[in-house]
Amino acid sequence: MKLYESLAADIAAQINQGVIREGERIPSVRQTSQHHNLSVSTVIRAFLLLESRGLIESRPQSGYFVRRRPAALAQVQTPCGEPLAAAEMARGRTLDTSEFVLTTLRSIHEGSVPLGSPYPDPAMFPWARLNQHANSIARRSSQIAISTDLPPGNPELIRQIARRHLENGLAVDSAEIIVTTGATEALNLCLQAVAPAGSLIAVETPTYYALLQAIERMQMRVIEIATDPVEGIDLEALERAIVEQGVAACMVMPNFQNPQGFQMSDERKRAMVEMLTRHDVPAIENDVYHELYYGDVHPSSLKNYDTRGLVLHCNSFSKTLSPAHRIGWTLPGRYRAQVEKLKFLNTLNTAALPQLAIAEYLRNDGYDYHLRKVRKTYAQQASIMAAAVLRFFPSGTGVSQPAGGYLLWVTLPDGVQALELYARAQERGISIGAGNIFATGDAFQHCIRLNYSYPWTAEVETAVRTLGLLAGELCSNCTPQKRANL
């Protein structure tokens, strides 16, 4: 390959990968000549070649720009340049959960209908007020010092978190609170604090895939406990696992569980904590959806019934106020000292400016009013999404009845494989959460998770209708015996 052809290929690759986007100016002839140590004439020949291929265009007195291509020629690609990588991964059945989730998020970023997103609709968050607070605080930069973001976190934010718990019926010692970089860090720190590598950790099944990833990453073992879509984890099965197999800790989500959406009753929460206390087994409680309840009264948490410091409560503002700020916290009970030490060793601190901005918002800006609006919206959209799924999907489809949050768990007829539905949906610009990633085996290969936090638009309705048609096509491929059972 000649020098100008090699340069043209490199620039074309950057354009195809999105490094240089449509309408953007590419480096000038002189800059390119200097950076690549090539003659000006070689660079001009490369640019002319790219122009002849329709990739760039010359604008008088302005330089060369990436040419806008017709939509029909556009192709959704991953950073490695492979179109529809998520669909191909699903069809290959080689399921690396981390890569699967990351590829799905990339497809959403590229414009897929975000029914498979784990995150709420960003339009629901008060970005303007949070940014105003951050800008105001940044101008008063003397407030931001290294001492304000070292563990356990900013004192004013900790005070506001303690007040929030008190308003929700849980009086906590503010000295127990440790601010973290989102709930994911809180869960990871707590897991590290309660058990060494090789320990057996009990989880609900299905469960949030990040918990399974954390257990695997820390070289621990997992045991999945059957979980009812209404009542929650099977307490008798959990106790048997503790007694017979030596469970070191459990990780649960008793309020609006991801993915099933249930809320454990107060009686079952109390019974669970009492049982764990008898066996001296800690529980890591993921309560990130606590504020997104649909009823008139906020739910209790496992922490409400903890008298021995065995519940490590984890929470964040990412699902209710701002995912971009990445502010979470934990109440780690008797494990507080270990968690604080691990926080310091792992990440040193949590950024001070986001802590201060959220503390300012909580103090001044009507957090309860914001939450009431969000809850009302999600409750309405939950009903709409559930009704649409039952209307458009094949007979035999079932849906969960979420009591809060923004996620719907859908059980498909036996003949419909979630990964194949996922792959076909991706090819049509629709993302879903395949049930396979919520367990270590294939128990939920006929389930999907849908996000209903986004407004119910014509685009979303069309996407749900399309999913139903695709599921029907897959169902028609069932064997006659299976089809008779649908």
- Which residues have CB under 8 Å from 290's CB, separation 6+? 168, 255, 256, 298, 299, 301, 315
Helix (H, G, I), strand (E, B) or coil at 2: coil
**Mean of per-residue pLDDT scores for the chain:** 90
Mean per-residue pLDDT for 163-176?
A: 95
Question: How big is the chain, counted in residues?
Answer: 486
Q: What is the pLDDT of residue 81?
A: 39
Whether 250 and 181 share a structural domain: yes
Beta strand pairing status for 283-286 and 178-180?
unpaired
Pick from 337, 365, 393: which residue ends a domain?
365
Q: What is the pLDDT of residue 245?
A: 97
Mean per-residue pLDDT for 235-259?
A: 98
Q: What is the pLDDT of residue 87?
A: 60
Q: What is the pLDDT of residue 139?
A: 83
Pick from 365, 385, 402: which residue ends a domain?
365
Whether 294 and 399 share a structural domain: no
Give the pLDDT band of residue 73 (cuts 50, 70, 90): very low
Q: What is the pLDDT of residue 102?
A: 85
Whether 66 and 171 share a structural domain: no
- Which residues have CB under 8 Å from 248's CB, separation 6+? 194, 195, 199, 200, 201, 281
Q: In this structure, is residue 473 part of a structural domain?
A: yes
Measured distance CA(233)–CA(159) in Å, rounded: 33
Q: In this structure, is residue 287 part of a structural domain?
A: yes
Looking up residue 156, the CATH number of its domain turns out to be 3.40.640.10
pLDDT per residue as tens digits for the range 84-127: 455 665 666 556 888 888 888 888 888 899 999 999 999 999 99
Rank 122-136, 194-208, 341-355 by mean pLDDT and report only the highest. 194-208
**Torsion angle in degrees (nearest 10) through CA of 43, 48, 51, 57:** 70
Q: In this structure, is residue 79 part of a structural domain?
A: no
pLDDT per residue as tens digits for the range 414-461: 889 999 999 999 999 999 999 999 999 999 999 999 999 999 999 999
Q: In this structure, is residue 413 part of a structural domain?
A: yes
pLDDT per residue as tens digits for the range 272-297: 999 999 999 999 999 999 999 999 99
Measured distance CA(121)–CA(117) in Å, rounded: 9
Is the per-residue pLDDT at 380 higher than 70? yes
Q: What is the pLDDT of residue 387?
A: 98
Whether 326 and 453 share a structural domain: no
Q: Is 338 exposed, middle or buried (0-12, 13-18, 19+ CB in 10 A)?
A: middle
Domain that holds residue 387: 86-123+370-484
Q: In this structure, is residue 137 part of a structural domain?
A: no
Domains held by the chain: number: 3
Beta strand pairing status for 200-205 and 221-228?
parallel
Whether 94 and 227 share a structural domain: no
Is the per-residue pLDDT at 480 higher than 60? no
Q: In this structure, is residue 228 part of a structural domain?
A: yes
Whether 332 and 203 share a structural domain: yes
Q: In this structure, is residue 48 part of a structural domain?
A: yes
Query: The whole model's pTM is what?
Result: 0.82
Q: What is the pLDDT of residue 96?
A: 80
Q: What is the pLDDT of residue 95?
A: 65
Whether 297 and 437 share a structural domain: no
Give the pLDDT band of residue 378 (cuts 50, 70, 90): very high
Whether 165 and 229 share a structural domain: yes
Q: What is the pLDDT of residue 94?
A: 57
Task: Identify the bridge partners of residue 221 per DSSP, sorted by sequence position.
Answer: 200
Whether 340 and 357 share a structural domain: yes
Residues of the chain above pLDDT 90, percent? 76
Mean per-residue pLDDT for 343-351?
A: 92
Q: What is the pLDDT of residue 82?
A: 43
Beta carbons of 221 and 258 less than 8 angstroms apart: no
Q: In this structure, is residue 132 part of a structural domain?
A: no
Whether 361 and 374 share a structural domain: no
Whether 259 and 297 share a structural domain: yes
Looking up residue 57, the CATH number of its domain turns out to be 1.10.10.10
Measured distance CA(441)–CA(260) in Å, rounded: 17
Q: What is the pLDDT of residue 148?
A: 56
Pick from 349, 365, 381: which residue ends a domain?
365
Measured distance CA(141)–CA(145) in Å, rounded: 8
CA-to-CA dists, residue 440 to 81, 216, 231, angstroms: 30, 11, 22
Looking up residue 444, the CATH number of its domain turns out to be 3.90.1150.10
Is the per-residue pLDDT at 76 higher than 90? no
Beta carbons of 327 and 185 less than 8 angstroms apart: no
Measured distance CA(395)–CA(309) in Å, rounded: 48
Whether 231 and 97 share a structural domain: no
